[in-house]
Amino acid sequence: MDEYRTSDLYFAAYLITAKCVLKRTDKVDRRVFFIFDKAPFLEELNREYFNGQAKVSAQPYAAQIKNLKALTHNLLNSS
């Protein structure tokens, strides 16, 4: 299955909150990429998010942002 990559932490948090599964992260230089399986509904989630029409619960979304920030910080500060 193809993969979808994004370095946008907020969009990645939205995808996780919308029930997409984070497969892994890739660190390239000083940048972290979030890798998801490419799914048919991913394009619709992308469109909704960038058109300001996304609907997810605020608390889980905020929690995912915090989780991904911590993960990114840990990855960028590890050897």
Six token digits for residue 56: 């997810």
Number of residues that this document lists for the chain: 79
Residue whose structure tokens are 């979304």: 61
* Domain extents in the chain: 3-76
Q: Using one digit for the tens of pLDDT, what is the confidence trace for 9-56?
A: 999 999 999 999 999 999 998 899 999 998 889 999 999 999 999 999
The pair phi, psi for residue 21, each rounded to 5°, is: -95, 125
Residue whose structure tokens are 């948090």: 13
Per-residue confidence (pLDDT) for residue 78, from 0 to 100: 84
Rounded to two decimals, the pTM is: 0.91
